[in-house]
Amino acid sequence: MPANPQIYDSDRLAHCYANDRPPVHQAICARLFAALPSGAEIRSALDVGCGAGASVAALVAHSRHVTGVDPSQAMLREAQRRLPASTFLQATADALPVESKAFDLVTAAGSLNYSDVPRALSEISRVLSPHGYFAAYDFCTGRVLPEDTLSASCFASFEQRFPWPPGYPLDLEFLPYREHALALTLHDEFVVELAMSADAYIRYIMSETNVEAAISTGMSEEDARGACWSAFGPLFERGPRTVGFRAVLALAEKIPSPSRSGDV
């Protein structure tokens, strides 16, 4: 059963996503475009589950036009404010309100596990151009490096105070690509490393869904921030630290339809 996307329909969380998330999408998209075949032209891109626009912003440097789709009005308001030149539509992954064969690239960043995956892949395949590409990627909550005893203890304290909401992980390597005319060409696991100050890290952590779940059920934002500082403050006593985001990227190519008899 898909994870529950309703937690994202929050003005507070949308503001955090628009302002406090580190540039992980940019790093992953750079890796994605480096993996495309030489000469591949991406004129139009569709981002499924665009949230507050960080993933769309990462695509803008690589595509002439980018469209973002998300079910959350709160997220879309932030995305449109941040990127007025891009197009944003309210919709889910399994019912995309766009024309068939309209996009050279479709991306889905941590959003497929909120959808009916076979229906979403069917829709993604439908809207891809005949030689288009689909990239699914995701990344885990950033952890202060190196992951030593103190780092592990701080993160365990955080997770005990803020249990993760129900959901399920999605193995991007083994999605039913072939059933939807897609051929997996790349599955890559790597770590994105970014330097972060204590304040930047706490603001980012306040945007995680387990913190939002606690706030949405009665914890004050002030108490949540205090608990995050209590959990992670010891890691930043000597200043900024390197934070690692474990990421996974899957790239698939649209399988061309067989030529019909009589085609030239």
- State the pairing for strand pair 128-139/182-196: unpaired
Stated pTM of the model: 0.94
Contact 90, 71 (CB under 8 A): yes
Domains and CATH numbers, the chain: 5-254 (3.40.50.150)
Q: How many CA atoms lie within 13 A of 219 on its CB side?
A: 17
For 199, the token pair is 């304040």
Cα–Cα dist 236/251, whole Å:
36
Beta carbons of 209 and 31 less than 8 angstroms apart: no
pLDDT recorded at residue 2: 57
Give yes or no for residue 163 having a pLDDT over 80: yes
pLDDT of residue 1: 46
What are the pLDDT digits (tens) for 188-215?
A: 999 999 999 999 999 999 999 999 999 9
- Which residues, listed in sequence order, are joined to residue 47 by a DSSP beta bridge? 68, 107
**66/87 Cα distance (integer angstroms):** 7
User: Can you give the pLDDT at residue 166?
Assistant: 83
CA-atom Rg of the chain in angstroms? 19
Torsion of CA 234, 209, 78, 27, to 10 degrees: 70
Each residue's pLDDT tens digit, 94-129: 999 999 999 999 999 999 999 999 999 999 999 999
Q: What mean pLDDT value characterizes the chain?
A: 94
